Structure 1
Amino acid sequence: MLACKRICSSTTISAFRALRGSQVVLFGQVQRCLSTQTDGEVRIAKLLRQKFPLASSLKVVDISGGCGAMYEIHIESSEFKGKRTIQQHQLVNQALKDEIQEMHGLRIFTDVPKQ
């Protein structure tokens, strides 16, 4: 198995993508191509853009394989300036309070833009 992992090339991965559409099967694991967004990712990103209009960077990723059970959010906004990390995360949680009820987990990464 180790030898197989070492010789797996981008050509092999491309072939898997062609066969599976928007998913890649690699050593028994299914990974989604990040060039397309799920409906949940789009919905959450839209809500966060509305709540944090000054966000300079926003990325929402469904890390549950596309089923919407767990998301990872990276958001950088000047609206977090002067707030501790826990306060920043509370703001994100508050913005997504209705959606969080349907999730099994949420990873939040916040930052203030460097100027």
Structure 2
Amino acid sequence: MAASHLLCGRNLGVVPLLRCAQRTFASQTLGELKVTRILKENFPRATTIKVTDISGGCGAMYEIHIESEEFKDKRTLHQHQMVNKALKEEIKAMHGLRIVTSVPKH
């Protein structure tokens, strides 16, 4: 594989890097906006929700940081299961997902 190509999603095959990199500085991709909206709906008490497309902008892999009171007194595994449940349909199209959850410090 040439260095100028990037594997961009399991169903998309090899895509030229320039076609995949759709981001501009300080902007969010449509996928990031959609995932953020879903998380805001499912975690209304969240104080922080940060969604980053870590696949170069093509939506194959995301990193999510979410801080919410809904996670209080729950183990990390259960917190991550809550996020997975909220994103159940979107996860079907993803290659991977990194989740970082926390409870706000008072």
The two structures have a TM-score, normalised by structure 2, of 0.78
Share of identical aligned residues, percent? 63
SS for the counterpart of 1:91 is helix
Greater helix proportion? 1
Give the match for residue 63 of structure 2: 72
Give the match for residue 81 of structure 1: 72
What do the CA deviations read for 1:70-114 (whole angstroms, capped 9, x no partner)?
Answer: 000000000000000000000000000000000000000000000
Aligned partner letter, 1:107 = R
- Distance in 2 (CA, whole Å) between partners of 1:33 and 1:72 is 18
Q: CA RMSD in A?
A: 1.4
Give the match for residue 98 of structure 1: 89
Contact conserved, 2:65 with 2:99, CA < 8 A, in 1?
yes
Question: What runs of 5+ residues in structure 1 fail to find an aligned partner?
Answer: 1-29
Give aligned pairs, total.
86
Aligned partner letter, 1:56 = T
- Distance in 1 (CA, whole Å) between partners of 2:104 and 2:24 is 28
Shift in Å, 1:34: 4.5
Alignment of 1:43-54 (within 5 A): 43-54=34-45
Higher relative contact order (Cα pairs below 8 Å, separated by 6+ residues): 2
Shift in Å, 1:32: 4.5
- Distance in 1 (CA, whole Å) between partners of 2:64 and 2:25 is 14
Aligned partner letter, 1:48 = L
What do the CA deviations read for 1:5-44 (whole angstroms, capped 9, x no partner)?
Answer: xxxxxxxxxxxxxxxxxxxxxxxxx794451000000000
Alignment of 1:1-115 (within 5 A): 32-115=23-106
* Greater Rg over alpha carbons, structure: 1
